[in-house]
Amino acid sequence: MKLGQWLSFLCIIISLILLWQARNILLLVFTAVVLATALNSLVMRFRKSGMRRDRAVMLTLLISFLLIILFTYLIVPPFANQLLKLGALVPQGFTRVVTWLEELLNNRPAWLENVQLPSADSLIEEAQPVLRAAVPNFFSFFSGSLSVVLQILLLAILTLMLLANPEAYRHAVIRLFPSFYRHRADAIFLECETALVSWMGGALISSTVVAVLSAIGLWALNIQFVLAQALLAGLLNFIPNLGPTLSMVFPLTVAALDAPWKVVAVIILYVVIQNLESYWLTPTVMANQVSLLPAMTLAAQLMFASLFGFMGLLLALPLAVVAKTLIQEVLIKDILDNWKNEKYKEPPLVTGEEITDPGQPTVFSASDLPEDLFED
């Protein structure tokens, strides 16, 4: 390699290190891009009716502000109150479940009497540190702190800046590419924007339906704190695979304080809701939109959660949607599909007779074999 190539390689390594050091800021910027993209889709709908962009932006911000006020004053106070009470009941429900398990173990068959199983007291002692660590950390995510408030303010400012003039920022990023690839980069960014809007619309519809069905089912079963648990089910539905499982923990612990049959009923309710969401609602909503394979979704969640923590888990799907679009457009279409190697040539088809049907198997004759195949 020449000196210039070594310097370029060194600059790339330094850039990657700097980007990794600023990964939290980049994640915040990506969140702002996602929110600005969602709001801009509403702005574009208003513009289709002939409205000027500045008026469309103001109307979109006004609608968003009113929705935030209604959500803050009508839903957040009872949700937070129920959530705190729900957190206090989780250890009690866990203790009740452990007691039931102990009763089942005491009445186990004779062939299991010699098997050493942990007692209920030992299970409670081992689980208490986990609950003490997990429950406060879970609720601390919803409790306000100075750093969280500052991050929310910064996120709001970035979102407003991007929404005010998205084309200027888009063109600034496009100019970082070589001149021959700028038009293609613009098309790829448009594909990413379309994929994000499609995913957000489908995820919002799916989560709303899950929250409504959970509220109806929990109300019919007379489970406490319906509002908090239904909202948690809807919010956690944005985290596939892990979210639905986590949303079932709280109603199970509350149901365990009432009657054993309610625990079974809650399990059946959530299994039915998640099957409807996975096999009917999501395929219907996402029929003409972006779709991710389940294994790829789980792998993306694990990878982004390990890299960026809890926020990486929350943003795993939009990150995966953008990554999928970039891989499909850049790696597959622009590089792999156009890969040409002059040294490689496909070998000719060697057959013993002319094949008219490509679906028929290839037939070889003895003359096609090497002459020294049978020599010692």
What's the token pair of residue 128?
A: 């208490």
Residue 348 has pLDDT above 60, yes or no: no
What percent of the chain stands above pLDDT 70? 68
pLDDT band at 356 (very low <50, low <70, confident <90, very high): very low
pLDDT for residue 116: 55
Q: Are 296 and 206 in contact (CB under 8 A)?
A: no
pLDDT band at 373 (very low <50, low <70, confident <90, very high): very low
Mean pLDDT in residue range 293-297? 74
Residue 227 has pLDDT above 60, yes or no: yes
Helix axes 226-236, 249-256, angle to 10 degrees: 150
pLDDT band at 346 (very low <50, low <70, confident <90, very high): low
The number of angstroms, rounded, from the C-alpha of 51 to the middle of its chain's C-alpha atoms is 34
The residue among 234, 195, 204 whose CA lies nearest residue 324 is 195
Q: Which residues, including other chains, have CB under 8 Å from residue 187's CB and lie 6 or more apart?
A: 329
d(CA 364, CA 351): 5
Q: Are 124 and 95 in contact (CB under 8 A)?
A: yes
Q: Are 247 and 237 in contact (CB under 8 A)?
A: yes
Label residue 309 left, alpha or beta by phi (over 0 means left) and psi (-120 to 50 means alpha). Answer: left
Read off the pLDDT of residues 99-157 as tens digits, 9 standing for 90 and up.
766 666 666 555 555 555 555 555 555 555 554 544 444 444 444 445 667 778 888 88
Residue 201 has pLDDT above 70, yes or no: yes
d(CA 364, CA 355): 11
pLDDT for residue 11: 81
- Return the C-alpha torsion angle 318, 320, 326, 329, nearest 10: -100
- Choose the weakest-confidence range: 13-22, 82-91, 161-170: 82-91
Residue 64 has pLDDT above 70, yes or no: yes
Mean pLDDT in residue range 36-48? 88
Residue 159 has pLDDT above 70, yes or no: yes
d(CA 265, CA 252): 9
pLDDT band at 341 (very low <50, low <70, confident <90, very high): low
pLDDT band at 338 (very low <50, low <70, confident <90, very high): confident
DSSP 367: G
pLDDT for residue 111: 52
Mean pLDDT in residue range 172-200? 88
User: Please, what is the average pLDDT of the chain?
Assistant: 75
What's the token pair of residue 276?
A: 């409807």
Residue 322 has pLDDT above 80, yes or no: yes
Look up the pTM and report it.
0.66
pLDDT for residue 221: 87
Mean pLDDT in residue range 266-272? 88
pLDDT for residue 137: 47
The residue among 240, 214, 238, 236 whose CA lies nearest residue 225 is 214
- Choose the weakest-confidence range: 81-90, 107-116, 192-201: 107-116
Mean pLDDT in residue range 55-73? 86
Residue-wise DSSP of 238-298: TSTTHHHHHHTHHHHHHHHTT-HHHHHHHHHHHHHHHHHIIIIIHHHHTTTS----HHHHH
pLDDT for residue 266: 86
Alpha helix ranges (H) inside the chain: 3-21, 23-48, 53-70, 76-106, 120-140, 146-164, 166-174, 182-220, 226-236, 242-247, 249-256, 260-276, 282-285, 294-308, 310-314, 316-326
More confident residue, 239 or 193: 193
